């Protein structure tokens, strides 16, 4: 029985390339290739693939992690593999917390991608070596690391969101947002929002502009 794969990527050339790659594998069949997160969720519910290969960015917006969370909330959900160009801590942690079984970068060799899809279909995890190194570094680092929620707050700050905007987005109070920022600043050795974002980008916590 072949592994049923759903591809979600907003670039037609990437979708076509992945379909061509998987077409060379008798153990893998592509059930659909879609270009938006909403189409991915709908196709996952309708077609019930074994694995969803999910990009993070769609039309300039980072909606892949949210789509992953929605897919993983379905009854008997498929495994989701993130397949992206972005490897900041905030992207990785958000995707994994959303239920992703793996996180691969788009420079992954074809054989490794096929192996990752096979592993995900079997319920195993698959991480790009660079991603695994970053996660291990977070675990081993003796200095205080930002929590997943703190990374989420800081990512929204980097997008230019106010405390009011962040509170509404995360469904928390402004006091809670301010508390998160108060914990973030000393961890990064800074005293302002701008400095926190700059320090996080330098250290790879947030994606660089």
Tokens of 149: 């929620």
Position 163 pLDDT exceeds 60: yes
Q: How confident is the model at residue 117 (pLDDT cuts 50, 70, 90)?
A: very high
Average pLDDT across the chain, whole number: 89
pLDDT at site 187: 85
Rounded mean pLDDT of 22-37?
Answer: 96
Give whichever of 57-66, 138-147, 197-206 has the largest mean pLDDT.
Answer: 57-66
Looking at 3.90.1300.10, 3.30.360.10, 3.40.50.2300, 3.40.50.720, the CATH number of the domain 3-140 comes to 3.40.50.2300
Cα 51 to Cα 28: distance, rounded to the nearest angstrom: 10
Where are the alpha helices (H) located in the chain, listed in sequence order? Answer: 12-23, 37-47, 64-72, 89-97, 110-121, 129-140, 148-158, 163-170, 174-188, 193-203
Same CATH topology for 3-140 and 148-203: the answer is no
pLDDT at site 136: 67
Tokens of 180: 């998160």
Tell me the three state secondary structure of residue 119.
helix
pLDDT at site 142: 44
Tell me the three state secondary structure of residue 8.
strand
Q: Which fold has domain 148-203?
A: Arc Repressor Mutant, subunit A (1.10.10)
Rounded mean pLDDT of 177-197?
Answer: 88
Rounded mean pLDDT of 117-130?
Answer: 89
Position 40 pLDDT exceeds 50: yes
Position 21 pLDDT exceeds 90: yes
If DSSP states are collapsed to H, E and C, what string results for 14-54? HHHHHHHHHHCCCCEEEEEEECCHHHHHHHHHHHCCCEEEE
pTM: 0.71
The domain locations on the chain are 3-140, 148-203
Residue indicated by tokens 């917006």: 61
Rounded mean pLDDT of 110-138?
Answer: 86
- What does the DSSP 8-state code read for residue 101? S
């Amino acid at each position: 029985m072949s592994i049923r794969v759903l591809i979600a990527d907003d670039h037609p050339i990437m979708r076509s390339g992945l379909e061509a790659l998987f077409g060379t594998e008798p153990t893998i069949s592509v059930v659909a290739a879609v270009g938006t997160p909403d189409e991915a969720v709908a196709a996952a519910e309708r077609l019930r693939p074994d694995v969803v290969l999910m990009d993070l960015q769609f039309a300039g917006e980072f909606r892949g992690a949210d789509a992953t969370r929605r897919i993983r909330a379905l009854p008997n959900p498929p495994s989701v593999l993130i397949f992206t160009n972005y490897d900041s801590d905030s992207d990785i942690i958000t995707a994994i917390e959303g239920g992703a079984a793996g996180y691969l970068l788009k420079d992954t060799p074809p054989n490794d991608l096929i192996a990752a899809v096979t592993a995900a279909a079997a319920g195993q995890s698959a991480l790009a070596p660079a991603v695994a190194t970053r996660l291990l570094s977070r675990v081993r680092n003796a200095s205080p690391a930002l929590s997943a929620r703190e990374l989420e707050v800081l990512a929204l700050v980097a997008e230019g969101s106010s405390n009011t905007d962040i509170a509404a987005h995360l469904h928390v109070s402004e006091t809670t947002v301010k508390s998160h920022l108060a914990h973030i600043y000393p961890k990064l050795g800074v005293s302002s929002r701008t400095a926190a974002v700059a320090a996080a980008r330098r250290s790879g916590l947030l994606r660089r502009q």
